[in-house]
Amino acid sequence: METETPAVAPEASAELGVAHYFKGKRLEPFSFARQSAFQRLRVGSESTIESAAMLVFLCLQKPERIDRARGEEGCARFRLDLSAWADEQKIGISYTDEAGVLHGSKAGHEVQKIASEVWSEIAAAESEPDLKDETGTESPNA
């Protein structure tokens, strides 16, 4: 299965933060739509490798493909696509021992490293909501 080419131009995604790459492919930013899909696809913390692989996989997909991951059938199909992609990429469990030696899947280690960096970037990002209405005054519901 070939991963679809991301839709955002490299110049535009570079403005949104640090660029990440997996096996030479540039990942699109983990945008609101991708974060929403991540939650919708019910990827939890129970499986760190699945969580990391899903984050990377989502960042390689076009927005239209991500948007089709809705409802039970659409989400199930997307998760099956993730599994097929992960198998093709040889993503699996990996760990680093006390001596710093990597054991297991290098690709698994790489997706976990990318996911960790992305989550750290999200946590470190400073954002303040713009609660002003069209007239420039603060909204009374703020």
> How large is the average pLDDT for residues 126-135?
71
The model's pLDDT over 88-125, given as tens digits with 9 standing for 90+, comes to 999 998 888 999 898 989 999 999 999 999 999 988 88
- What pLDDT, on a 0 to 100 scale, did the predictor assign at position 3? 42
The structure tokens listed for 78 are: 């997307």
Q: Is this model's pTM higher than 0.85 or not?
A: no
> Using one digit for the tens of pLDDT, what is the confidence trace for 59-92?
999 999 999 999 999 999 999 999 999 999 999 9
Is pLDDT of 7 > 50? no
Q: How far apart are CA 30 and CA 17, in angstroms?
A: 10
Least confident range from 31-40, 44-53, 73-82, 90-99: namely 44-53
The residue-averaged pLDDT of 17-44 equals 91
Exposed, middle or buried, 54 (CB in 10 Å: 0-12/13-18/19+)? buried
* CA neighbor of 78 nearest in space, from 140, 29, 108, 36: 36
Sole residue written with tokens 């913390």: 45
Give me the DSSP letters along 50-95.
Answer: HHHHHHHHHTTS-HHHHHT--HHHHHHHHHHHHHHHHHHHT---EE
Dig out the tokens for 131 from the structure: 């609660």
Q: Which two tokens stand for residue 88?
A: 């093709």
